[in-house]
Structure 1
Amino acid sequence: MTAPSKPQEPNTQHQELCTWLQAVAVKRDKQSFSQLFKWFAPRIKQFGIKQFNNEAQALELVQETMTNIWRKSHLYNKDRGAPTTWMYSIMRNMSFDMLRKIQTQRTETISDDIWPIDNALATDDLEQYEDHLQNKNIIMMLDQLPENQRQVVFGLYFQQATQEQLAQQLNLPVGTVKSRLRLALNKLRQQLGESND
């Protein structure tokens, strides 16, 4: 009794992937790309869900990776490695780019996240101190603020700039403008409290 022969599927798969990639590279063949997509997209999605724990981001990874495979297919060299290795390296690079982008977005918005009362300070306190801000006493208090906080208060209350306009004018993130405003208003409130005692 002879032993069953080992399936040739992995080698056949390798040849098919090489053929499809070559057809995409040389002919921009959409049918071959469709075959690559059917084979590779579910694997990318599975990897993306593990990486991001988010289906929408996993699908974005599928789209970005497959777009790059379409654009860069001419760079694949079968003598240097398997098509799967080449495609997975593109997928990993795209996932790193996405993770960096997500981290950058988190860093840029952290000021908004940690100061949830900024909007209240920017509106309620403005109404509360609107009359006082015209007072010379308040202007003297403003002079005692650090320069970066004084710039923000003057820009918002005397120049009537929005936080976004001021951020652009000072070349700062909006979150930094909000943080400086919060600190300045807290100091003014303390000074007002002391002067009223």
Structure 2
Amino acid sequence: MRTASESSEQDLKQMTDWLTAVAQQRCRDAYRQLFHYFAPRIRAYGLRHLRSEAQAMELVQDTLLAVWQKAHLYVPERGTPLTWVFTVMRNQCFDMLRRQMNSREQLLAEDLWPVLEPVDGSQQDERGEQQILARQLAHYVHLLPAAQQEVVRGVYLQEMTLQELADRLQVPLGTIKSRLRLALEKLREQVGKQDD
């Protein structure tokens, strides 16, 4: 009968063999074994951190696809297959969380225009529409702190991307996103007060 330590060493050797076979021979059987071993563990991690079954399963797929594609980068001397696969998994999870945050920021930014009065497109040409929207926006923007005004004007009136604005102002992209989020919340409040 094997001890827990011997069993663990045997499992590590087996995983190393599977990962090596995937890296060197593109062995589908070895990959299938890795998939069956890691999929439930990655799913559990995804459920804890992403809080969605669909996203947890997407994390499983993205991680194990990356394992297939990057297996040749695994170096046994630097760590166990477990450590390497979980590092790949965490990186994939961070990427998913970043995409979610960027998506939320884009949606938040696009929410501003519906707050302003709609313009009947049949009565105004596009340039006239932009001028009306700019005037409406300017009416509220002056109520914001200077740093938030700068971001709103850059994004909506100068049509700069968030990254272009971050580069121009020499601040991190996350700072620009935070300023925009706060500005949009304040603008919504102001528009709401005007409508009451």
Smaller-chain TM-score range?
0.5 to 0.7
Counterpart of 1:126, as a letter, is: D
Quick one: which of 16, 21, 31 aligns to 2:14? 16
Instruction: Look up the match of 2:58.
Output: 60
| Regions of 4+ moved over 3 Å | 111-118, 145-149, 170-173
Paired with 2:114 and 2:37, the residues of 1 have a C-alpha distance of: 46
Give the match's secondary structure for 1:26: helix
Instruction: Look up the match of 2:143.
Output: none
Q: CA 1:79 to 1:44, structure 2 compared with 1: closer, same or farther past 3 Å?
A: same
Paired with 2:2 and 2:49, the residues of 1 have a C-alpha distance of: 37
1:13 CA drift (Å): 0.7
Task: Select the structure of larger CA radius of gyration.
Answer: 1
Paired with 1:75 and 1:172, the residues of 2 have a C-alpha distance of: 35
Instruction: Look up the match of 2:145.
Output: none
1:67 CA drift (Å): 0.7
Counterpart of 1:63, as a letter, is: Q
Instruction: Look up the match of 1:157.
Output: none
- State the Cα deviation string for residues 36-58 of structure 1 (Å, max 9, x = none): 00000100000000001001111
1:6 CA drift (Å): 2.4
Q: How many pairs does the alignment contain? A: 146
2:41 corresponds to 1:43 = yes
Instruction: Look up the match of 1:71.
Output: 69
Paired with 2:23 and 2:7, the residues of 1 have a C-alpha distance of: 24
Unaligned runs of 5+ in 2: 139-155, 163-179, 192-196
Counterpart of 1:6, as a letter, is: T
Superposition RMSD in Å = 3.9
Unaligned runs of 5+ in 1: 150-166, 187-197
Paired with 2:32 and 2:39, the residues of 1 have a C-alpha distance of: 10
Q: CA 1:50 to 1:147, structure 2 compared with 1: closer, same or farther past 3 Å?
A: closer
Q: Following superposition of structure 1 onto structure 2, how do residues 35-184 of structure 1 map, counting pairs within 5 Å?
A: 35-113=33-111, 117=115, 121-122=117-118, 125-126=119-120, 130=123, 146=135
Percent identical:
32
Instruction: Look up the match of 2:25.
Output: 27
Q: CA 1:12 to 1:172, structure 2 compared with 1: closer, same or farther past 3 Å?
A: closer
